[in-house]
């Protein structure tokens, strides 16, 4: 027959084991919760990063298109200016050539022709 002391010890052992098991289960559950929370956070961060990267890519693409469009406009304007300049240069000599053949050329050879009277003679 067991004494009181041994009976107390025997009763404490299963209680200690049960307490250890519940503590272990609680620790495991806590660890699992933590891991799940970390995973959720990682997923959320990954989503945000993907979104940010996508935004950046879109911004770069838009900026590239804008630069291209601006460059095209600049080139078009430069070509227009060049064409207008050439047209003006081609039209300028044609306009000045008939002016050179005006009656002023005759006066250099005949000073009497510059006189305002139709006879050309001076009073």
Taking the C-alpha atoms of residue 32 and residue 39, their distance in angstroms, rounded to an integer, is 10
Task: Indicate the number of domains in the chain.
Answer: 1
- Per run of 10 residues, the mean pLDDT along the chain (length 123 residues) is 70 79 92 95 94 94 94 93 87 58 52 62 59
Best CA proximity match to 114, nearest among 98, 101, 123, 103: 103
- Let me know if residue 120 belongs to a domain: no
Q: Is 3 domain-assigned? A: no
| Amino acid 123: pLDDT | 59
Taking the complete model, does pTM exceed 0.75, yes or no?
Answer: no
Q: Is residue 94 part of a domain?
A: no
For residue 115, being part of any structural domain is answered with no
Domain that holds residue 55: 16-86
């Amino acid at each position: 027959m067991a004494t009181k002391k041994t009976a107390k010890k025997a009763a404490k052992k299963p209680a200690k084991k049960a307490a250890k098991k519940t503590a272990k289960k609680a620790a495991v559950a806590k660890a699992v919760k933590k891991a799940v929370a970390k995973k959720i956070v990682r997923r959320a961060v990954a989503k945000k990063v993907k979104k940010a990267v996508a935004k950046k890519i879109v911004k770069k693409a838009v900026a590239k298109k804008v630069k291209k469009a601006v460059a095209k406009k600049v080139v078009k304007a430069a070509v227009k200016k060049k064409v207008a300049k050439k047209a003006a240069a081609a039209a300028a000599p044609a306009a000045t050539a008939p002016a050179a053949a005006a009656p002023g050329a005759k006066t250099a050879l005949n000073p009497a022709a510059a006189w305002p009277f139709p006879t050309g003679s001076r009073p």
